[in-house]
Amino acid sequence: MDNGKVALITGGATGIGKEVALGLAGRGANIVINYSRSEKEAAETAELVNAKGVTGITVKADVADDRQVRAMIDSIIGATGRLDYVVNAAGITDFVPMADLEGLKEEYWDRALAVNVKGVFFVCRAAAPHLKKTRGSIVTITSLAGFNGRGSSIAYAVAKGGAITLTKSLAQVLAPEVRVNSVAPGPVMTRWNAGREDGVKKFFQGTPLERVCGPEDVAAVVIPLLVAADMVTGQTVVIDGGALMM
């Protein structure tokens, strides 16, 4: 178990981040829930973490802002004295049809790359010295879009492909003390896809497993990668019910 260990979950207030936070809390880890806008949801998730007999705290920071990220990591070390796990679950997209090239505004590119690539790097860089001390690990939530080039927009797909490459680069430079992996879900039934539930269900029709992916399905892969897969680094695990094979 992970009694006394500390996990930082960026974007941990809702969805996949929330499920990972609760799963790690159930193993005895103390949880830091990062958020940028979802203050109410972050507080609610912290309460659920505390109910499991561990400590759940919230910290506001925009992962795309390096100064805020460094201040967040400093505050975590000041409050807990250690950092064992980092889950990069913060993400952003603007939904633009893939064929609508003119609709893909420069600001959408900037947001996608700032949060989904630079933000992951900023968090990992600031956390690295502390993770090395505890021989910790990192898991980033990427996307199937990073493999197949399809998704909510071209900018999002490119950014998630970059995050997959970043996983490989960080796995090399932070070894042997820190393992770095990522997971690449297909569409997940979270508030991210609110109003698009029919599209999510359609995606999984005819796939080998023939069922919709929920945040708990992603958490079920993230947590073992964090805590148990001691010989796995630089890898990205696809979570799509077998869709990529088709």
Q: Which residues are catalytic?
A: 156
Look at residue 142 and give its three-state secondary structure: coil
Contact, 162 vs 104, CB < 8 A? no
| Rounded Cα distance, 63 and 233, in Å | 23
Q: Distance of CA 56 to CAs 33, 52, 124, Å?
A: 7, 9, 21
Q: What is the DSSP string of 80-104?
A: HS---EEEE---------TT-TTTS
What's the rounded Cα separation, in Å, for the pair 78 and 70?
12
Beta bridge partners of 87: 9, 139
In the block, residue with structure tokens 């109410």: 40
